[in-house]
C-alpha cells in the first residue's frame, strides 16, 4: 500500500456505507473565501462550521469523501491524546495540559452532538476497555486512571482486576484493564459522510476527484491549483493528514505516515458475539504495536493492529492479523475473514496533534497519531472559530512544541523503522 496508491479501501465500511455523496470535480476557475483541502473529518467539520458562520467555503477532496483515514479507521472514539497527559504536562506545563484534556473531552462530546444534531446513522456505542497484557501494564493502567481522577477530576474510569475484566472480555490474554464510560466506537465512514452531508446542507461547496497540486499567491490573494481548474480564495486549510504527500513541506517535515491495518470477520451469531464482549465495548491494549478491536453492529469482529513504518504493506497481512486475533480469541479459530484493509495515520514525534497557522491565512491540522476519530471533527470546529473569531481558539494546541523528523523524506523512513523495531521488541520483554 504505497502512499500514492489511490485505490479505495476494500473495507467492511465501504461495503456497509449508507450514504453516497456525489460531487463534481473542479473544472474551470472558481472563487470563494476559504478553501479546505481534504475531505476527511478534519476538512468536512471545518467546512461545516465555516459554512454555518456564513463563510463561502469550498471543500476539496482528491478521491471521494471519507476516502482517507476517516473512512478506514478502527472507529474508536477515545478521549485524551496519543501522547499521554503526563507527556503533555512536561511539554506544555500543567495549565495548558488541563486545557488540552478538557478539549479532548469536548471532542467526544462534540462527536455525539454532531451525530444527534445531523441525525447521522453511524452505530455509535459508548464504552471502552483499555487492557494490559503484562501485569506491569495493568498496574500502569490503574495508576493512569488514578492520575486522571486526582489531577483532572475524570471519574468515568473504573479499574478492573483480571477476573472482573474477564467478565467483560472473554480472553485469557489480559492481566487487567480500565473501563472508560466516556469513550466508545462508531462506523467511521458513515459518520464522516454524515458530516460531509451536513457541510453541504449548510452551504459548503463540495468537489471530489480534485487533487490540489500547488498553491500560489498574487496581490489579490491565494490561488489553489487542481488539474482542471483553479480557485481564488483568501484563506486555505490543509486537512490532508497522512496523505499530504509533499504538498506543504513545512508541515510535512513534522509528520510521518504510518500504515495500520484491520480485518473484519464474517458476521458471528449474536450469542457468539456477546460471549466475547457482552457489553460491546471497544478494546485496545497498551502495547507499542497495539491490538484494537470491537464488534460491529452486525456482529463482525473488527480487529486492527500491525503497523508499517516503511510505507510498504506487511507480507501476509490477513494471515498475521488473523493470528493476532486468535491470540486474543482462540474461540474464533475457524471464523472466516471477509475484509482486510489498511490506511495511513499521521504521527508526530511526540504523538501530540500538530495544529496551527503557518502563515497569514494558511491553517493546518495533522498528526493525530492514530487518535483522531473524535478529535479531528472537533479540531475542524476550532479551526473554523480561529478563522472567523480569533486564533486564541487553537492557542493551547499551538503551544505544543513539534520537532521535525530527522533526515529528509528518504532518510527518515529507514531511521524510523530502526527506532520502531526497538519499541516493538519491548512489547515482548
Ligand X SMILES: Cc1cc2nc3c(=O)[nH]c(=O)nc-3n(C[C@H](O)[C@H](O)[C@H](O)COP(=O)(O)OP(=O)(O)OC[C@H]3O[C@@H](n4cnc5c(N)ncnc54)[C@H](O)[C@@H]3O)c2cc1C
Contact residues: ligand X, CB under 6 A: 37-43, 60-63, 67-70, 72-76, 78, 211-212, 239-244, 247, 260, 262, 292, 304, 342-345, 368, 370-373, 376
- CA 9 to chain CA mean position, Å: 16
Which lies closer to ligand X via its Cβ, residue 215 or residue 332? 215
Count of CB atoms situated within 10 Å of the CB of 13:
26
- Least separation in angstroms between residue 277's CB and ligand X is 15
Question: Strands 76-77 and 34-37, how do they pair?
Answer: unpaired
Which lies closer to ligand X via its Cβ, residue 137 or residue 211? 211
Which lies closer to ligand X via its Cβ, residue 348 or residue 376? 376
Task: Measure the CA–CA gap between 29 and 226, rounded to whole angstroms.
Answer: 10
State whether residue 93 is helix, strand or coil. Answer: coil
Task: Measure the CA–CA gap between 68 and 259, rounded to whole angstroms.
Answer: 12
Q: Are 58 and 35 in contact (CB under 8 A)?
A: yes
> Computed from CA positions of residues 84, 90, 94, 99, in that sequence, does the dihedral angle turn out positive or negative?
negative
Which lies closer to ligand X via its Cβ, residue 261 or residue 422? 261
- Least separation in angstroms between residue 204's CB and ligand X is 15
Which lies closer to ligand X via its Cβ, residue 217 or residue 272? 217
The position carrying cell 473544472 is 27
Which lies closer to ligand X via its Cβ, residue 94 or residue 181? 181
Residue 363 neighbours by CB under 8 Å, 6+ apart: 235, 236, 237, 238, 356, 357, 383, 386, 387
Which lies closer to ligand X via its Cβ, residue 10 or residue 270? 10
**Nearest one of 349, 409, 170, 402 to 276, comparing CA atoms:** 170
State whether residue 234 is helix, strand or coil. Answer: coil
- 373 membership: H or E segment, kind and range: none
State whether residue 128 is helix, strand or coil. Answer: strand
Q: Are 293 and 328 in contact (CB under 8 A)?
A: yes
Task: Measure the CA–CA gap between 325 and 293, rounded to whole angstroms.
Answer: 9
Residue 335 neighbours by CB under 8 Å, 6+ apart: 265, 266, 268, 301
Q: Are 71 and 208 in contact (CB under 8 A)?
A: no
Which lies closer to ligand X via its Cβ, residue 230 or residue 272? 230
Which lies closer to ligand X via its Cβ, residue 136 or residue 297? 297
Residue 42 neighbours by CB under 8 Å, 6+ apart: 70, 239, 241, 365, 372, 376, 377, 379, 380, 383
Which lies closer to ligand X via its Cβ, residue 141 or residue 240? 240
What is the greatest pairwise CA distance in the chain?
Answer: 68
- Least separation in angstroms between residue 372's CB and ligand X is 2
Amino acid at each position: 500500500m504505497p502512499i500514492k496508491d489511490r485505490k479505495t479501501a476494500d473495507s467492511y465500511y465501504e461495503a456497509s456505507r449508507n450514504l453516497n455523496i456525489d460531487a463534481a470535480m473542479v473544472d474551470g476557475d472558481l472563487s470563494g473565501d476559504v478553501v479546505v483541502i481534504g475531505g476527511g473529518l478534519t476538512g468536512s467539520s471545518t467546512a461545516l462550521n465555516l459554512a454555518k458562520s456564513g463563510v463561502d467555503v469550498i471543500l476539496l477532496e482528491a478521491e471521494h469523501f471519507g476516502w482517507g483515514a476517516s473512512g478506514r479507521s478502527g472507529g474508536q472514539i477515545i478521549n485524551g491524546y496519543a501522547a499521554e497527559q503526563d507527556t503533555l504536562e512536561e511539554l506544555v506545563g500543567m495549565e495548558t495540559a488541563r486545557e488540552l484534556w478538557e478539549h479532548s473531552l469536548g471532542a467526544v462530546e462534540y462527536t455525539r452532538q454532531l451525530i444527534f444534531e445531523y441525525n447521522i446513522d453511524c452505530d455509535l456505542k459508548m464504552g471502552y476497555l483499555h487492557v494490559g497484557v503484562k501485569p506491569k501494564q495493568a498496574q500502569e493502567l490503574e495508576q493512569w486512571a488514578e492520575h486522571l481522577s486526582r489531577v483532572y477530576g475524570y471519574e468515568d474510569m473504573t479499574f478492573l482486576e483480571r477476573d472482573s475484566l474477564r467478565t467483560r472480555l472473554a480472553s485469557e490474554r489480559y492481566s487487567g484493564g480500565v473501563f472508560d464510560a466516556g469513550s466508545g466506537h462508531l462506523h467511521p465512514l458513515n459518520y464522516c459522510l454524515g458530516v460531509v452531508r451536513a457541510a453541504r446542507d449548510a452551504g459548503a461547496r463540495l468537489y471530489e476527484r480534485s487533487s490540489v497540486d500547488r498553491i500560489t499567491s498574487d496581490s489579490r490573494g491565494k490561488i489553489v491549483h487542481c488539474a482542471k481548474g483553479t480557485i481564488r480564495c483568501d484563506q486555505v486549510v490543509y486537512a490532508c493528514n497522512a496523505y499530504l504527500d509533499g504538498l506543504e513541506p513545512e508541515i510535512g517535515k513534522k509528520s510521518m505516515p504510518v500504515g495500520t491495518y484491520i480485518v473484519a470477520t464474517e458476521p458471528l451469531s449474536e450469542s457468539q458475539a456477546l460471549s466475547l464482549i457482552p457489553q460491546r465495548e471497544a478494546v485496545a491494549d497498551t502495547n507499542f504495536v497495539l491490538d484494537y478491536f470491537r464488534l460491529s453492529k452486525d456482529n463482525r469482529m473488527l480487529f486492527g493492529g500491525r503497523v508499517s513504518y516503511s510505507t510498504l504493506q506487511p507480507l501476509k497481512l490477513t494471515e498475521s492479523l488473523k493470528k493476532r486475533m486468535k491470540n486474543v480469541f482462540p474461540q474464533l479459530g475457524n471464523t472466516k475473514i471477509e475484509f482486510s484493509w489498511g490506511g495511513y495515520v499521521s504521527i508526530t514525534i511526540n504523538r501530540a496533534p500538530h495544529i496551527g497557522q503557518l502563515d497569514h491565512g494558511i491553517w493546518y491540522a495533522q498528526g493525530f497519531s492514530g487518535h483522531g476519530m473524535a478529535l479531528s471533527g472537533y479540531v475542524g470546529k476550532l479551526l473554523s472559530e480561529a478563522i472567523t473569531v480569533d486564533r486564541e481558539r487553537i492557542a493551547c494546541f499551538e503551544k505544543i512544541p513539534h520537532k521535525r523528523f530527522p533526515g529528509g523524506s528518504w532518510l527518515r523512513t529507514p531511521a524510523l523503522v530502526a527506532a520502531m523495531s526497538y519499541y516493538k521488541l519491548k512489547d515482548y520483554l
